[in-house]
């Protein structure tokens, strides 16, 4: 059996604690106690709780940046469908991280470690709105983005079933214009 490093165990336990108790509800001492190490050992591996969170969310943040880059050259019509599918897939791959981040978005976006996420989330929201500046389109995009995350983090269904339903709902909500006839 492969031996798990202390650093990896700290990350695993922190992810579980953050998801269960929230970022603010989890202390470094809580993490250290669950890992079975001292707080000093934990601080040897990570500068603090925000450094642990930054490392936990780094893969999802990189994928979000990649998604936004793939969306940039698309025309306004194609960007919505690609944004919907890309974001649903990303959140399904990173359920645990989404749960941690979603619970504390306003606080996280104020942290220097997450400064790069705000422009990425703004770009994704604009893509969901089909780059429309109409208030109704922007609000609908925000509602759908939030809804996707909420459903993914609390839903126990199989990813394939969940993906199909989320993409379908998002398309119906965003790709139908108010003046369209049903």
pLDDT in tens, 120-130: 888 999 999 99
70's tokens: 């793939």
Q: Give the C-alpha separation, 171 to 52, whole Å.
A: 35
Measured in degrees and rounded to the nearest 5, phi and psi for residue 52 equal -65, -50
Tens of pLDDT along 46-64? 999 989 988 998 998 899 9
Residue 51 lies in a domain: no
- What CATH number does the domain containing 78 carry? 1.10.357
Residue 98 predicted with pLDDT over 50: yes
In a domain, residue 170? The reply is yes
Please tell me whether residues 18 and 74 are part of one structural domain: no
pLDDT at 76: 87
> Between 77 and 40, where is the model more confident?
40
Q: Are residues 75 and 128 in the same domain?
A: yes
Containing domain of residue 21, as a range?
A: 6-45
- Mean pLDDT across the stretch 142-160? 85
Query: At residue 21, does pLDDT exceed 90?
Result: no
Segment 60-86 shows an average pLDDT of 93
Q: Phi, psi at residue 32, to the nearest 5°?
A: -60, -45
Angle at 96 between CA 102 and CA 170, to 5 degrees: 60
Nearest to 87 by CA among 32, 41, 152: 152
User: Model-level pTM greater than 0.85?
Assistant: no
Instruction: Examine the domain organization and report whether 71 and 106 are in the same domain.
Output: yes
- Confidence at 181, pLDDT banded by 50, 70, 90: very low
Q: What pLDDT does 9 receive?
A: 95
Kindly tell me if the per-residue pLDDT of 180 is higher than 50.
Answer: no
Our count of domains for the chain comes to 2
């Amino acid at each position: 059996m492969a031996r798990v490093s202390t650093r990896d165990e700290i990350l695993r336990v922190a992810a579980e604690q953050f998801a269960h108790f929230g970022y603010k509800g989890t202390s470094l001492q809580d993490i250290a106690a669950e890992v079975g190490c001292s707080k000093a050992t934990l601080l040897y591996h990570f500068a603090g709780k925000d450094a642990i969170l930054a490392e936990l969310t780094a893969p999802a943040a990189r994928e979000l940046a990649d998604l936004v880059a793939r969306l940039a050259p698309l025309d306004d019509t194609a960007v919505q469908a690609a944004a919907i599918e890309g974001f649903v897939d990303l959140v399904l791959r990173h359920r645990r991280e989404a749960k941690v981040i979603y619970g504390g978005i306003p606080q996280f976006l104020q942290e220097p470690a997450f400064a790069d996420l705000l422009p990425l989330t703004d770009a994704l929201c604009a893509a969901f709105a089909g780059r429309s500046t109409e208030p109704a389109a922007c609000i609908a995009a925000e509602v759908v983005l939030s809804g996707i995350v909420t459903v993914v983090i609390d839903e126990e269904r199989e990813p394939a079933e969940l993906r199909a339903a989320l993409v379908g709902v998002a398309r119906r909500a965003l790709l139908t214009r108010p003046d369209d006839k049903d």
